[in-house]
């Protein structure tokens, strides 16, 4: 058999192998999912992303016909869980649901083995939450003006907790102190849930927390809300003023939640997950749950989340540089 014939045979074989591989890959993506999906929450239980993750995992399991398992991987202010997902196979079976901190704030504070903008495929911007400044019921200050006056009277004595150094609740407190020209003592925890436990127990006096994890504690009276952190009042707490309107004009801080997968996860899988989540987030029971928790559903496309993530990344980088905010050891 001549050389030219062998070349032709090899070329045909290569084409068949390529086409076969593409067909197999397309088949796998079309059949997705065929086994349980791991939903990594990069915090200990009790925080906003954990609550949202459990609500969505339960509903998503029914829609996909496969179990979606919540896997809490706390530590490193969310970076440990994020790294697990960044290094996981890009096959759609390992996802992360995280709040703004690991997505857009941590990279400006910590050296990390992963790059948020490079190593993740954004799936969906789930929700936004205006925070709430909550106090232990024993704190005498009941308004923003009272709180600022008390902080001026007793500098460094008021303690406020957060879900970790450099996170949303920490930066919200730093921004408040900067704008009010007061000094308070920051107490970081491993999660917002842990900080709320200590706030309820009177071990700290204040917390700038997301509405979703804080609302249950407000409803039971274990903590007392003073004001919300966003530009508008929260539908679930219509009587509560914003910090801006209550005595600190111009103050604004909000958190958000997003879901992502490892970079290079096939586009059809990303699109399928986005489509299912968008439809899920528009169901009446999910809308009702988010309203009750003080959150606002965002949804949108993967591209919209990618653009939003880039803008938030840049925004927080500028805030941290301008306010000269640092975390211990950085």
Query: What is the DSSP annotation of 279-304?
Result: HHHTSHHHHHHHHHHTEEEEE--HHH
Residues 261 and 121 placed together within one structural domain of the fold:
yes
Residues 262 and 313 placed together within one structural domain of the fold:
yes
Residues 150 and 249 placed together within one structural domain of the fold:
yes
Residues 232 and 319 placed together within one structural domain of the fold:
no
State the pTM of this model: 0.81
Residues 159 and 122 placed together within one structural domain of the fold:
no
Q: Which of 254, 269, 293 is the last residue of a domain?
A: 254
Residues 45 and 147 placed together within one structural domain of the fold:
no
Is the residue at 8 inside a domain? no
141-158: pLDDT as tens digits:
999 999 999 999 999 999
Cα separation, 68 vs 113, whole angstroms: 27
Residues 141 and 204 placed together within one structural domain of the fold:
yes
Q: What's the total number of domains in the chain?
A: 2
pLDDT confidence of residue 137: 97
Phi, psi (degrees; rounded to nearest 5) at 109: -115, -40
Is the residue at 22 inside a domain? no
Is the residue at 225 inside a domain? yes
Residues 124 and 267 placed together within one structural domain of the fold:
yes
**Pick from 313, 289, 325: nearest CA to 101:** 313
Is the residue at 193 inside a domain? yes
pLDDT confidence of residue 23: 44
Is the residue at 270 inside a domain? yes
Is the residue at 7 inside a domain? no
Residues 311 and 230 placed together within one structural domain of the fold:
no
Residues 149 and 189 placed together within one structural domain of the fold:
yes
Give the DSSP H/E element, type plus range, for residue 58.
helix 48-64
Residues 116 and 142 placed together within one structural domain of the fold:
no
Is the residue at 14 inside a domain? no
In this structure, what is the dihedral angle of CA atoms 120, 122, 126, 131, given to the nearest 10 degrees?
Answer: 50
**CATH number of the domain where residue 135 is located:** 3.40.190.10
Q: Provide the H-helix boundaries in 167-297.
A: 168-180, 192-200, 211-220, 243-246, 267-281, 284-293
pLDDT confidence of residue 235: 86
pLDDT confidence of residue 25: 47
Q: Do you find a cis peptide bond into 33, omega within 30 degrees of 0?
A: yes
**CATH number of the domain where residue 278 is located:** 3.40.190.150
Residues 136 and 124 placed together within one structural domain of the fold:
no
How large is the greatest C-alpha to C-alpha distance in the chain, in angstroms? 97
Is the residue at 12 inside a domain? no
Question: Which residue positions in the chain have pLDDT lower than 50?
Answer: 12, 19, 21-23, 25, 329
Domain of residue 185 covers 130-254
Cα separation, 95 vs 52, whole angstroms: 14
């Amino acid at each position: 058999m001549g050389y030219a014939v062998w070349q032709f045979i090899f070329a045909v074989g290569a084409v068949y192998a390529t086409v076969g591989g593409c067909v197999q890959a397309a088949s796998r993506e079309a059949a997705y999912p065929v086994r349980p999906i791991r939903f990594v929450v990069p915090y200990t239980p009790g925080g906003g992303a954990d609550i949202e993750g459990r609500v969505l995992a339960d509903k998503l399991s029914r829609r996909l016909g496969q179990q979606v398992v919540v896997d809490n991987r706390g530590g490193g202010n969310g970076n440990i869980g994020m790294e697990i997902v960044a290094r996981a196979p890009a096959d759609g079976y390992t996802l992360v649901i995280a709040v703004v901190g690991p997505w857009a704030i941590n990279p400006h504070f910590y050296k990390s083995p992963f790059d948020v903008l490079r190593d993740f495929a954004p799936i969906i911007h789930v929700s936004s939450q205006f925070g709430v400044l909550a106090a232990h019921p024993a704190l005498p200050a009941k308004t923003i003006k009272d709180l600022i006056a008390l902080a001026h009277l007793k500098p460094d004595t008021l303690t406020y907790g957060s879900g970790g150094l450099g996170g949303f609740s920490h930066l919200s407190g730093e921004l408040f102190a900067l704008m009010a020209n007061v000094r308070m003592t920051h107490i970081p925890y491993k999660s917002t849930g842990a900080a709320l436990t200590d706030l309820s127990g009177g071990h700290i006096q204040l917390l700038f927390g997301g509405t979703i994890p804080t609302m249950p504690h407000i409803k039971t009276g274990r903590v007392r809300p003073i004001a919300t952190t966003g530009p508008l009042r929260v539908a679930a707490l219509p009587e509560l003023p914003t910090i801006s309107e209550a005595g600190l004009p111009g103050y604004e801080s909000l958190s958000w939640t997003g879901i992502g997968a490892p970079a290079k996860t096939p586009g059809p899988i990303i699109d399928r997950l986005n489509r299912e989540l968008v439809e899920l987030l528009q169901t009446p029971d999910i809308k009702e749950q988010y309203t009750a928790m003080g959150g606002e559903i965002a949804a949108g496309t993967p591209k919209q989340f990618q653009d939003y993530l880039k803008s938030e990344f840049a925004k927080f980088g500028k805030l941290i540089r301008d306010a000269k905010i640092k975390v211990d050891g950085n």
